[in-house]
Structure 1
Amino acid sequence: MTLQYPNGCHPYNRSRPTCSPPSGYPDPEEGIDWMNATPLHIGIVACSAEGAALCYRTLCAEGAQRMGPHAHPEISLHTHSLADYVACLDARDLDGVAALMLSSADKLARAGADFLICPDNTIHQALDRVVADSPRPWLHIAQEVAAVAAARGYRRIGILGTHWLVDSDVYPADLAARGLDYARPPQDDRLLLGRIIMDELVYGVIKPASVAQLQGIVERLKDDGCDAVVLGCTELPLVLNDGNCALPTLDSTRLLARAALDRALAPAFDVARGGTAP
C-alpha cells in the first residue's frame, strides 16, 4: 500500500487500555496478543452517509475476523454536509472540496487519528491539494484498487461512478502506473450512473429497475473489452457485486477499508517480528 505523507509527518503510536480476551477468543494472527497490542487509529474523512457507513462496517467486521470477537482498531469519523461537497463539485471548485477535506483531517488529527482514509472516490480529485497541508498521511483509494486489480491479473478496467469521477483522472493515472488499460462508459451511461447514484443510492434507495440499468452498463463495458469493473462510487456495492454482474467487481470501499486495516495492524506485526513500533 502507498501512504501519502505530508511534509515531515508520520504515524504515532499511542497506548490504549487493555482488557481481558472474551470467551472463545481465537488464536491471534502470527501469535499476536491483539488485546494488548496497539493498532494505529484510523480516521475516516467521510462524504456520503452510505459510503462512509459501509467503510466503517467493513473495518469493524473484518477487524474482528483478524483480531478476535468484537475487536477492531480505534476509528474516528468526521463529515461535512454532502450538500457542501456537491455545491463545490457542481461549481468545479476543487479548492473548496480540498478545504472541506482538510477541515475534516484537522478535526480527526485532534481526535487522535494516526492516518486518514476517504471512502469517496469523487472527491479524491482534490486530494493532491490536501496532502501537503494535512496533519496526517492518507491512503489513496485509486492506488489501492489499482494494486489489487494488477495482483488479480486484470488487464482492462471499466470505471463506474459519478460523472464527476468518471470524467476525472482519479483512476486513469494509477491504473496506467500498474500497466493497466481502462474504459469509461459512453456519455449517456455516465449520466444514467450519476442520476442513479445521486438521486437514489446516496439516500439508500434501491430500485430493481435501476439495478438492471447498472447491470446493462457493465454488460456494455464487457463488450468494450473490459475484464473487470471498479465500483468507483462507494454506494455502488449496495447494488452491484460479483454475483450479479457480467464482470468481476473491484469494490473500492471494501478494498480501501482492508488496506486501512493492514496499515493499522502493521505496527503490531512489526513488533511481533522483532522490530519496533513507529
Structure 2
Amino acid sequence: MKIIGLIGGISWVSTGDYYKLINQGINEKLGGLNFSECLIYSFNYADIKRNNENNDWDSTFNMLLKGCQFLKQGGAEAIVLCANTMHFIADRLEEAIELPIIHIATATAIEIEKQGLKKVGLLGTKFTMELDFFKDKLISKGIEAIIPTSEADKDFIHTTIFEELGKGIVTDETKQRYLAIANQLIKEGAEGIILGCTEIPLVIKPEDLLVPVFDTTLIHSNAAIDFQLS
C-alpha cells in the first residue's frame, strides 16, 4: 500500500470525513483489519481564513508547503488537500514538493464525464465558484460549470461555509437555502450539482435533488484510495 499525506484542518470537520471515508474504502477493498496507511498535517483554519480574506495566497502557499514537506519527510508518496479552495495553489504546490497532488477537480471531472453530463452547477466558496482552477479541469473534459448569478446567494454560501458548516453547525434554514440555490441552477440547465466544498455534503444529500449530486469529499477520497492501492 502506498502512503498518502492529508493536508487537513481546512476544516477539521471535513478532514474527519476524509479519514473515515478513506479508511472505510480501503477496508471494503482489502477486508480483514486492513486500513489506510496515512499521515495528517492539520492546520489552524483561522490562519488560512485570515490569509484568504487578505488575498494573501503566498502566505497560504508557504504554510501548505511546510505541511507538504513534513508529510513527504514522513514517507508520503502523494498529497491530498482536504479542501476544494486550496486547489487554487495545487499545481504550484505539486511543482514545489515534487510529489503528486491528487486533484479534487480532476477526479470530479472524471466522475461527471462517466455520466455523460455536459452542464453542471458548481457550489463552493466564492474562490471556488469565481476563480478558474476548478472550472478549467471541467472544461478539459468538455463540461460547462454554472454558478449562482445572485451575489447574495454566493455571499450566503461563502459565509455559511466558514461560519457554520466549517464548525459542524447544520441548520434546516441553511439547508433549505442551499437547496433553493441548487434548484435554481437546475432550472438554468444544470444536469448535475457539484458540492464543490468539502463541508456542503453536510447540508445537501443525493436524495435531496432530482439530478445527480457530485460529493467532492467522497470522490476525492475514492481517488486517494485508488492511488494507495495502485
Q: TM class by shorter-chain length?
A: over 0.9
Structure 1 distance, partners of 2:92, 2:99, is 14
1:54 paired with 2:17, answer: yes
The residue number in structure 2 matching 1:35 is none
Partner of 1:44: 6
Question: 1:104 aligned to 2:67?
Answer: yes
User: How many Å apart are 1:219 and its aligned residue?
Assistant: 0.5
Inter-CA distance 97–168: structure 2 relative to 1 (3 Å threshold)? same
The one of 241, 244, 247 aligned to 2:208: 244
Q: Give the counterpart letter for 1:261 in structure 2.
A: I
Deviations 1:172-207 (A, max 9, x none): 111110001110112221111112211110010110
Q: Which residue number corresponds to residue 77 of structure 2?
A: 114
Output the CA distance in 2 between the equivalents of 1:146 and 1:93.
28
State the match for 1:83 in structure 2.
Answer: 46
Take 1:199 and 1:245, find their aligned partners in 2: how far apart are those partners?
A: 24
Q: Which runs of 4+ in 1 moved over 6 A?
A: none
* Structure 2 equivalent of residue 94 of structure 1: 57
Aligned equivalent of 2:166: 202
Match for 2:130 among 167, 172, 177?
Answer: 167
Larger radius of gyration: 1
Distance in 1 between residues matched to 2:40 and 2:84, nearest whole Å? 17
Please list every run of 5 or more consecutive structure 1 residues that lacks an aligned counterpart in the other structure: 1-38, 267-278
Q: Secondary structure at the match of 2:40?
A: strand
Amino acid at match of 1:85: I
Alignment of 1:6-155 (within 5 A): 39-46=1-8, 47-155=10-118
What RMSD in Å do the two structures reach over aligned CA positions?
A: 1.1
Residue number in structure 1 paired with 2:181 = 217
Asked if the contact 1:55–1:257 (Cα under 8 Å) also holds between the matched residues in 2, the reply is yes
Contact between 1:162 and 1:233, CA under 8 Å: does it hold in 2?
yes
Which of these residues, 116, 120, 126, is aligned with residue 157 of structure 1? 120
The match for 1:230 is: 194
Q: How many residues align?
A: 228
Higher helix share: 2
1:104-142 residue CA offsets vs partner (Å, 9 max, x unmatched): 101111111111111200111112221221042211110
**Aligned residue type for 2:79:** L
Query: Residue 265 of structure 1 aligns with which residue?
Result: 229
Percent identity over paired residues: 25
* AA at the equivalent of 1:227: E
